[in-house]
A and B are shown apart, each in its own frame.
Chain A
Amino acid sequence: MEFLEEFTQEAEELLGLINKQLLGVAEASSASARQPLLQELLRAFHTLKGLVGMMGLEPAGEICHACESALNRVRKQPQGLESRWVDSMLECSRVLGRLIHALPERPGLPEARASLERLHSLDQPQHWAAPVGQMELSVPEEVGRHLQEDDWSRIHQALQDGLSIGLAYFSPTPELAARDLNVNRVREHLLASGDLLKAVPLIEGSRVRFAFLCLFPAHLPPQALEGVDWEVLDTPPAAEAMPAREHPLEEIARAVSNTVRVEVSRLDEIMRLVGELVVSRWRLENALDSAGLEDNRQAPIRDSAARIERQLRELRQAVTRARMVPLSEVFGRMPLAVRDLARSSPCQVRLEMDGEETQVDKVLVERLLDPLLHLVRNALAHGLESPEERERAGKNPVGTLRLSAQPQGDSIRIEVCDDGRGLDLEAIGRATGVGSSLEANRALDILCRPGFSTRREAARDAGRGVGMDVVRTAVAEMGGHLGVENRPGQGCTFWMRLPLTLTIVDSFLVSLAGERYAVARDAVTEVVEIPLQDIQRHPGGELVTWRGGALPLVRLRQVLGSAPQGEPENPHALVYSAGTQRLAFVVDRVVGLREVVVRPLADPLLARPWLGGATELGDGSVALILDLPQLARQGARL
């Protein structure tokens, strides 16, 4: 039966929601507290009615319909509900549950009939209470005209209850959408700190701006979110003088405290178990491959395996999400640090921050603080000039330091960018005797040597013997990379690219001289086939013409020291690009795409900078993980 699984799952969720809301209705202290619950219930029954209809469960559809009607009737009823009413609704929900679980068989519904009749017998036609009079509120007209009578009375009630009214504006753009800043996210954000009264799209031409009218506790306005403009419209009359009434605040407090604190180690444990499940699933698939079953007997098992894979991915994402905290936990400490540092330095600096709402792994946030602080200190000590020097160079005397974070697929890029003098490549070259023609990333390698400094007298904050090597090591320990972009005279940007999750990575599985290796999918922009005869040899290395340009090649067989025997005629290559750099890594074959569990290399004899770890494959064998970004950095000098 098609869609059976999805249907059962969603139907169960809806029934769960229905039961919860029904209990809420039973406990609700007033008609206005009941309203939103009834609305939710109506919608849930309606959605369920559509779904059971698609599955051909007519009796269930009939029950849903009757419940809808019953809800519509009590919605208009201002006084309390009899508990008998809630009981019959709960009974209907139980019957629905039985009908849904009985699928794909379709039972009749004698018992359902009885429940339906009980529900009908509770009919009590009633009318609305008189509408509340006009109020003077500072809701702008463009929003106000979308409000109904009962919206106004809710506002009135909320102010009485000691809540404030606020208005948030959000204009969606593709750029914001690409970073998951969309209308749903904004709504969830607002709902996290209060209640959403009305969302009004304001459309002009082909653009839209959303206005959200919110209720929130006067002393707890929503936190700032990028792209959202927030203003407080009305605060409760004599907010301090009047003690807030119990229930709305309590309701909101309940919503806010709807979280559980969990030790990170417990989440680690779950993540490890998920990792083991991933491996077990491959074993299953491998066992299936070698079992040699006929296609028609294999298909259902394959289907289940594919489903498990999907569910595992979702499980992994869910666990990952549970570990995520916003970067603001570290970014938030920077303004204070920068102010302190600026006070003891000749520079004046303005700090800009961007992307601090990005969610990253909790462990990452904790380890990020030190390297980030170090880069900020460096920017102030070495990057930014004194106001006089800046004026002489025709710059704003106040320097700008910019911290930004941007998610990129499975990883996040964090930048510390200043508009100071840039790296003095010559001084770095002189200090090491390398000469003056240094390329920025090579300079970074030198900067990262333990104890390196170009400064005669060590600056108080940046040159305390703890140098860039510590930053690079910390970043590498997080499985990330450190890079630099230099703009001589205009400033420089240090960037860190870090994985969002630490343990499982989507990877290409490739074969090379009979061995299998894994390569993080994130690092690969494209997989191409390269006929060996198309490879041109140049003194600087090998390349192929690709998309009208030259694409340098790195033969991984050579890097790994394998013999050329048995290399295929048309090997595959993984195209890697970073900034303007593009490289193709030639492997024998790309075997497939997998989720691999990254384990650190335990054997120091095996350790190479370009080995990102190892992973266990389904058949129990081990594949090494190749770190393309690291190889690319070396590739320039291979």
Chain B
Amino acid sequence: MTSVLVVDDSPTMRKMVKAALLPLGSKFGEAANGLEAIEQLALQHFDLMVLDLNMPDMHGLEVIQYTRAYESYKELPILVLTTRSEHETRQSVLEAGANRYCTKPFQPAELLAAVRELLGG
């Protein structure tokens, strides 16, 4: 069973993401901030991360940096799901090490398709 970590400081948004990804039949982990996400990664194995950028204490781009510092997560597919902002562009997010850049508001079907693609089918 695949396992997806949903990182977003909004519980409603996490719920929406999980609802959109329900058809995957995967297990979900949740984190409400960057530190919690980094902790979750060390405590159990994940196959994919859906990551918000603008969170308290630690920005999502920093979370990517730390995630890549784990031996086992060098190749972890990271889908950044964020509200459009003047500070980050698709390019800067991908350069920071994300595999995919999606924006909120999102269409559930599109998010699902993007995640499926990242998981390889």
Residues of A within 8 A of B (CB): 3, 6-7, 10, 40, 42-43, 46-47, 49-51, 53-54, 56, 68-69, 172-174, 177, 182-184, 187, 196, 199, 201, 203, 205-208, 210
Contacts and interface: CB of A to CB of B under 8 A. Distances in A.
Given A43-B56, A172-B43, A184-B33, A208 B38 contact: yes
A119 B66 CA distance: 38
B118 interface: no
Contacts of B54: 42-43, 46-47
B9 interface: yes
Interface in B36-55: 36, 38-39, 41-44, 52, 54-55
A207 B42 contact: yes
A621 B72 CA distance: 57
Contacts of B104: 50, 53-54
B10 A3 contact: no
Given A51-B12, A54-B105, 12 more contacts: A3-B15, A6-B12, A50-B52, A50-B105, A53-B83, A53-B105, A172-B39, A196-B57, A199-B58, A201-B66, A201-B69, A203-B69
A326 to B, nearest CB: 22
A207 B66 CA distance: 11
B16 A184 contact: no
B71 A206 contact: yes
26 contacts: A6-B11, A10-B11, A40-B56, A42-B54, A43-B54, A46-B54, A47-B10, A50-B82, A50-B104, A54-B106, A172-B42, A173-B43, A182-B36, A183-B36, A196-B57, A199-B57, A201-B66, A201-B69, A205-B70, A205-B71, A206-B72, A207-B42, A208-B38, A208-B41, A208-B70, A210-B38
Give me the 10 closest cross-chain CB pairs, A-B, nearest first.
A53-B105, A50-B83, A203-B69, A208-B42, A46-B54, A50-B104, A183-B39, A6-B12, A54-B105, A201-B38
Interface residues of B, number: 35
Contact of A174 (B43, B57, B86): B43
Interface in B52-108: 52, 54-58, 66, 69-72, 82-83, 85-86, 104-106
A184 B54 CA distance: 18
B10 A206 contact: no
Nearest to A47: B10
A54 B13 contact: yes
B42 A7 contact: no
Contact of B36 (A3, A46, A50, A184): A184
Nearest to B73: A206
Interface in B1-51: 9-13, 15-16, 32-33, 35-36, 38-39, 41-44
A182 B39 contact: yes
Contacts of A172: 39, 42-43
- Could you say which of B35, B52, B57, B106 has the most chain A C-beta atoms within 10 Å of its C-beta? B35
Nearest to A170: B39
Nearest to B104: A50
Nearest to A209: B42
Interface in B101-121: 104-106
Contact of A203 (B9, B44, B70, B82): B70
A208 B39 contact: yes
Given A54-B104, A199-B57, A206-B72, A43 B9 contact: yes
Contacts of B43: 172-174, 177
Given A43-B55, A46-B54, A203-B69, A183 B13 contact: no
Given A6-B11, A53-B104, A54-B105, A206 B83 contact: no
- Could you say which of A49, A51, A68, A203 has the most chain B C-beta atoms within 10 Å of its C-beta? A203
A54 B16 contact: yes
A291 B46 CA distance: 47
A10 B72 contact: no
Contacts of A208: 38-39, 41-42, 70
A10 B39 contact: no
A450 to B, nearest CB: 49
Contacts of A203: 38, 42, 66, 69-70
A568 B107 CA distance: 51
Contact of A206 (B70, B82, B85): B70
Given A50-B10, A50-B83, A199-B58, A210 B15 contact: no
Contact of B35 (A3, A43, A56, A199): A199
Given A46-B83, A54-B104, A183 B35 contact: yes
